[in-house]
Structure 1
């Protein structure tokens, strides 16, 4: 990384969000947006062309989504520093992102300065979590509330979310580039870990835990 400039890749499916972020980040000294992506697939493809210092990644994008894109980037580029910038204020999303290798998690509802601080901290190899999320994680561990969702691996979490959203095995297989047999294995494992029996149970569980909207 250059001592002077932190090179940033922005991955978000909303052009207006990307354009606003780009403008705001580049107004700050020492930050430069070198590339933009509108999907997880595109972020994965162009990461290698630019090798940014920090990738600011949304979670909810069409196609494979941010968690899977992050997993692939890190698998190929071990030193990748990915900062999740998401509307999800649910601890489960933050925990899964961090477990999957994210260096930071910032909510879109927070102050913009928090994102700037996060980009700079992550560029220096530190971890940054939005204060609101950090507080929820601390409270959860304080009361000994081990959320059952945390038993899922990041890949199982992503498959679960897609199933709860109504995607079928074909669609999930295509999105995550895994075989239908693998999807079926994940499906079985998820139901066992969460103690669920039917598709309706899965949807209810996902709504109850704020993973999808009811």
Structure 2
């Protein structure tokens, strides 16, 4: 079962989301929250795999995304919002969201988005995908700059062909910590495979061929 946390300040809306998601039979909503602080507390208490959040809520959706990402780097975060501008999508992705869907979308897209994020893919709603097609919201250089110092260390080792276990040994970290870093690094850089990660590092002169 895919464990989902819902964050939206409208109870009727949350009830609709819950019913829609749980009709999929492989999704369970572990908790609902009406504001950013309540959502973060629920995140700590219930350890969901996917957070579905609005942006316009008490405490701020973007701030919730940042706090949630810092607490659990492997968490998948879907923004479900009425705001559809490219600037807002970019801000959400920069904050750490892994998917963005307009509330004007067909209901089934919410289920599709949760499945996609749980499978490790980024998800942008149909209209948003068209709006952003052909351009990276951040750009490779900016994406690289967004990595923390530790993430850059892990990135370089992975790009050089080290396994996660070898990275853990080299950096004195646990295998789980390296695995979490690897997930966040691929997410921030917009790559899905180790080969793509290595090619990106070579293009920017971070590793030699």
TM-score range, shorter chain: 0.5 to 0.7
RMSD, aligned CA: 1.7
1:87 aligns with 2:79: no
Q: How far off is 1:67 after superposition? A: 0.5
Measure the CA separation in 1 of the matches of 2:23 and 2:109. Answer: 15
Measure the CA separation in 1 of the matches of 2:132 and 2:121. Answer: 18
Name structure 1 gaps, 5 residues minimum.
Answer: 147-152, 154-214
1:65 aligns with 2:60: yes
Aligned match of 2:34: 38
Q: How far off is 1:91 after superposition? A: 1.0
Choose from 9, 13, 18 the match for 2:9.
13
Aligned match of 1:160: none
In the alignment, is the contact (CA less than 8 A) between 2:20 and 2:111 conserved in 1?
A: no
In the alignment, is the contact (CA less than 8 A) between 2:78 and 2:99 conserved in 1?
A: yes
Paired residues for 1:36-185 under 5 Å: 36-62=32-58, 64-138=59-133, 141=135
1:144-167 deviations in Å (ceiling 9; x for gaps): xx9xxxxxx9xxxxxxxxxxxxxx
Name structure 2 gaps, 5 residues minimum.
Answer: 140-145, 147-209
1:36-65 deviations in Å (ceiling 9; x for gaps): 000011111110111101010000002x21
Measure the CA separation in 1 of the matches of 2:71 and 2:25. Answer: 30
Scaled by the length of structure 2, the TM-score of the pair is: 0.63
Aligned residue pair count: 138
Measure the CA separation in 1 of the matches of 2:72 and 2:23. Answer: 29
Measure the CA separation in 1 of the matches of 2:71 and 2:87. Answer: 25
Scaled by the length of structure 1, the TM-score of the pair is: 0.62
Measure the CA separation in 1 of the matches of 2:33 and 2:71. Answer: 18
1:101-144 deviations in Å (ceiling 9; x for gaps): 111001000001111000001011110000101111126x49xx
